[in-house]
Chain A
């Protein structure tokens, strides 16, 4: 953990009456910086916040939006909850999985993509939906999926 990160953490801590309250903002911060939270991060945070490692692990593993494993540069979350499921999200997920040649939770060898199935993204009105990093993609079909993925690939290879 760099000094700069530590400083930011200390600033976050300053906002709360109790150190422990800064836990979620700190976890979010670390994930934003490198895409996931490592075991060493958990240990470091434990030291800084004076919260036992096990409790930090418990919190971090509770939130699916916090990742404890590395993810691809483009982390794809496919909604498979009721409405999306009714409108074919399983097929979308399988299509993506085949297209990228990875299973749920895996990363493509080039490190570009990872996929997971998630619960409702609150976009039921435009189901099926998926989220790539912070961006939403709605009313999906396989053609649209191709378009999205290919454009990312083009951007990455070209750029």
Chain B
């Protein structure tokens, strides 16, 4: 225990901290400028100086450790003089353009000078002149205002790990500059903007549009982009979003954000938003009224249910919508329409993997705290780039690297290039073999764990079958690291799952997880992939992950929902598509999803969706799927409605309404309106009513309330009871041994700056990353005689497209990558696929592609 006196106040500490922190705990504020809670102490500005008894000179509180018996004064005439002196020096070169500067009102320098002076400067020489730089599309840089605290540089280096900026020059001439000179060539996380104390770097999304004190409302909510679910604050004026900023020290991101979360919010106000319902008349979508549109849907669904039965109706849920929305959708499908055909595009990755792991290892196996990654000894990254898919989770991996963890990349992950310890590149599309080999080696070294006999048996069989060790560069190092690790995190991306035999890789991962007692993390591209599973938007499970085929569960829900639930298991996504093709499914209800664009084989889907008697799409934009719908319903977007979301670590969080709009209706409200028209009243007035019902019926959410969720840290299993593993047999591997001999294969790429439907309507993200590129290794480019930026045409059996080439050093094989984010040129349309019999996800391996330089005839 340490006791000291600060400003005559006794302070006791339970652990050693700096004097600055000790004072803070005692409610005493010491002024700082170069210090920031997100950064390590630096002691560059000297503003935090304090008097310490028996120490000859003033000491910097931000670096001085509090010691027992210290007597400290944080304010005195001598201290004020020093602070005033420092500030006077800082103002020598400061333009003092506060009336024009956007930081005024929330500027730390302004506040400090206001408190300590000086009121007039004595400096008579000319001030340094550096023109303001507007070359960058997102960040405005005015180095005249810079106070050289290096907070931005330390943020970019030590926390974000992008190392894109630095202080260049010396003395009077020094200034902050990106290496890329005028414009930033970086990850655009904007975290440097968060820490800049003055108006030297500002977001161009809001400059000159409002003053900090003109904000009417600040709403603490969460991001709408990915499965991390970062906390952030939306600042609103006149019912329009002025700015999105992080909330320091709050939520799982503790004040950090990524480019999408910080700069991607403008889509909410896109002129392309749907405003009224649209109904197809004479082959054309025409503006309509809510009552007409809703009646058409209710009548048609009733008719189809009557003539063909409920099983002719199917629904697609949305990982962009809230738990409440998804809960109401599955209830609508099951009870009102009488169909268990409810699934989502998460089937193509997250939900598929999640189910496989839970069946094998028990419910909640992927419920691990993101923050825990940074304390791992080994982080194994497989099948994706976490820093692009889930950027804030990616930062935890980078932090683990800084703390000395081994970062092992199986495959490639561009954002970890500077942080990885070992990279093992499996032979093309042979990830499963590598994982199995790894599992066998680990099993031989570790032996039976004897907790889940079924997995032990399976591993023994595998190891008896496997003859020799895998001969792959880095493999031994990888083995050694895993064997010596006392704390392992495995981060799994969707690329591994989206394979013809994806489940085989999943078994490998499950086995490794089990043997090493590792923490397993599933990357999640959308904000509510986990939530929709928990809400019951999977065909064979009711809310709370309760299997449909256990009669007890079913009858409980039937009683609560006032209606029968069909007996069958329902169809998964691709079975629904098959059903549409065979005309067994006659109506498809799509909520907040764009299957025509987001699934492989878009043109085929477009074609067979023509078979439907009714295609309803509710969304905020006229997506590729909405364009071919019979009825399109405008929904409300992020910040326009409230609801809960469950992130990839299974934290339930509240997304709150910040602005009001008449543009659309909440997804659940639309459904409940239709349900009422079909004779099944749902009776919800607000989202709270839905949550209350969920807390009653879902064993997972037992007694959960908004109040409790709002307090944060509402983590799995809440008050609920998880179930144990179910699977007792590993399905056979149907392996079509195939040689991959083509020159190039096409594969999907996940971009840091985009998500698709939302990001392509976000001007800032479109400025940062305006068009798709075909990424390939330097070797591939060399082989084709291409250089960075050359335009190429490329074609697969499914279609063709064109894009400029971008060379990516992190790619180590002959795959070429294209994203699926830009209208009219998504990779999904070019891919052919098969379905994994076990996970029911699609497999997209071995998609041969021919590449030609633009304009050159072969």
Report A's interface with B, CB cutoff 8 A.
Answer: 42, 50, 52-55, 57-58, 61-64
Whether A54 contacts B166 by the Cβ 8 Å rule is: yes
In B130-179, the 8 Å CB interface with A consists of 153, 156-157, 163-170, 177-179
Question: Can you name 29 A-B residue pairings with CB atoms under 8 Å?
Answer: A42-B179, A50-B418, A52-B157, A52-B164, A52-B179, A52-B418, A53-B163, A53-B179, A54-B153, A54-B156, A54-B164, A54-B165, A54-B166, A54-B178, A54-B179, A55-B157, A55-B163, A55-B166, A57-B168, A57-B177, A57-B179, A58-B166, A58-B168, A61-B168, A61-B169, A61-B170, A62-B169, A63-B170, A64-B170
Nearest 8 pairs between A and B by C-beta? A52-B163, A58-B166, A54-B166, A61-B168, A54-B179, A53-B179, A62-B170, A61-B169
In the bound assembly, the distance between CA atoms of A42 and B180 in angstroms comes to: 12
Which B residues are in CB contact (< 8 Å) with A50?
A: 418
Contacts of A58 in B (CB 8 A): 166-168
Cβ contacts under 8 Å, A52 to chain B: 157, 163-164, 179, 418
Rounded to whole Å, the gap between the CB of A52 and the closest CB of chain B is: 3
Within the complex, what minimum Cβ distance (angstroms) separates B416 from chain A? 14
Residues of chain B within 8 A (CB-CB) of A42 are 179
Which of chain B's residues have a CB closer than 8 A to the CB of A61?
168-170
Besides A50-B418, A52-B179, A62-B169, 17 more A-B contacts (Cβ < 8 Å) are: A42-B179, A52-B418, A53-B163, A54-B153, A54-B164, A54-B165, A54-B166, A55-B166, A57-B166, A57-B168, A58-B166, A58-B168, A61-B168, A61-B169, A61-B170, A63-B170, A64-B170
How many residues belonging to B are interface residues under a CB distance threshold of 8 Å? 15
B163 contact set on A, CB distance < 8 A = 52-55
A53: chain B residues at CB < 8 Å are: 163, 179
A68 vs chain B, min Cβ distance (A)? 9
Chain A residue numbers with a CB within 8 Å of B165 are 54
Max chain A Cβ within 10 angstroms of own Cβ: one of B156, B163, B178: B163
* Measured CA separation A62–B168 after assembly (Å): 6
Query: Closest Cβ of chain B: how far from A71's Cβ, in Å?
Result: 18
For the complex, give the distance between the alpha carbons of A52 and B165 in Å: 9
CA distance A50 to B163 in the complex (A): 12
Within 8 A of A (CB), among B200-221: none
For B166, list chain A residues within 8 Å (CB): 54-55, 57-58
Q: Which residues of B contact A54 (CB under 8 A)?
A: 153, 156, 163-166, 178-179
Closest residue of A by beta carbon distance from B156: A54
> In the complex, which residue of chain A has the Cβ closest to the Cβ of B164?
A54
Q: Which residue of A lies closest to B173 (CB)?
A: A61
Q: Which residues of B contact A55 (CB under 8 A)?
A: 157, 163, 166
Residues of A within 8 A of B164 (CB): 52, 54
Q: How far is the CB of B726 from chain A (nearest CB, A)?
A: 48
> Complex Cα distance A53/B163, Å?
8
- Complex contacts, A57 vs chain B, CB 8 Å: 166, 168, 177, 179
B412-448 interface bits toward A, Cβ cutoff 8 Å, 1 = contact, 0 = none: 0000001000000000000000000000000000000
Bound-complex Cα distance A129 to B547 (A) = 88
CA distance A52 to B170 in the complex (A): 19
A119 to chain B, nearest CB (A): 10
When C-beta atoms are compared, the residue in chain B nearest to A64 turns out to be B170
Which residues on A sit within 8 Å (CB–CB) of B178?
54
Smallest CB gap from A59: residue in B: B166
Smallest distance from the beta carbon of A46 to chain B beta carbons, Å?
9
A63, closest chain B residue (CB): B170
Q: In whole angstroms, how far apart are the Cα atoms of A57 and B179 in the complex?
A: 7
Q: Please, how many angstroms separate the alpha-carbon atoms of A105 and B13 in the complex?
A: 57
Distance (whole angstroms) from the CB of B509 to the closest CB of chain A:
30
Return chain A residues, CB-CB under 8 Å to B170.
Answer: 61-64
* CB proximity of A38 to chain B, nearest CB, Å: 14
Q: B168 contacts which chain A residues (CB < 8 A)? A: 57-58, 61-62
Residues of B within 8 A of A64 (CB): 170
Give CA–CA (A50, B417) in the complex, Å: 11
**Identity of the chain A residue whose Cβ is nearest the Cβ of B168 in the assembled complex:** A61
Complex Cα spacing A112 to B658, Å: 66
Measured CB to CB, the closest approach of chain B to A117, in angstroms, equals 13
Q: How far apart sit A127 and B557, CA to CA, in the bound complex (Å)?
A: 95
Distance in Å from the Cβ of B810 to the closest Cβ of chain A? Answer: 13
Chain B nearest CB, measured from A126 CB (Å): 26
Instruction: Name B181's closest neighbour in chain A (CB-CB).
Output: A39
Which residues of A sit under 8 angstroms from B157, Cβ to Cβ?
Answer: 52, 55
Measured CB to CB, the closest approach of chain B to A120, in angstroms, equals 14
A64 to B4, CA, bound (A): 47
Interface centre among A42, A52, A54, A64 (most CB of B within 10 A): A54
* Distance between Cα atoms of A91 and B783 in the complex (Å): 60
Q: Give Cα A61 to B165, complex, Å.
A: 13
Q: How far is the CB of A14 from chain B (nearest CB, A)?
A: 22
Complex Cα gap A52–B164 (Å): 8
A107 to B167, CA, bound (A): 27
Closest to B175 in A: A61
Nearest-Cβ distance from residue B743 to partner chain A, whole angstroms = 28
Q: Which residue of B lies closest to A58 (CB)?
A: B166
Cα distance A50–B170 in the bound complex, in angstroms? 24
Report how far A36 CA is from B33 CA in the complex, Å.
36
CA distance A58 to B165 in the complex (A): 9
How close is A77's CB to chain B, nearest CB, in angstroms? Answer: 16
Tell me, in angstroms, the Cα distance from A58 to B179 when the chains sit together.
9
Could you say which of A42, A50, A57, A64 has the most chain B C-beta atoms within 10 Å of its C-beta? A57
Q: How near does chain B come to A105, taking the closest CB pair, in angstroms?
A: 13
Q: How far is the CA of A82 from the CA of B418 in the complex (A)?
A: 46
A42 to B177, CA, bound (A): 15
A148 to chain B, nearest CB (A): 29
Measured CA separation A55–B167 after assembly (Å): 8
Complex Cα spacing A64 to B153, Å: 22
Taken together as a complex, chains A and B put the C-alpha atoms of A52 and B158 apart, in Å, by 12
Cα distance A126–B165 when bound, in Å? 42
Q: Which residue of B lies closest to A43 (CB)?
A: B179
Q: How far, in angstroms, from A53 to B157 measured CA to CA in the complex?
A: 11
Looking across the interface, which residue of chain B has its beta carbon closest to that of A57?
A: B179
**A47 CB → nearest B CB, Å:** 9
- Give CA–CA (A58, B177) in the complex, Å: 9
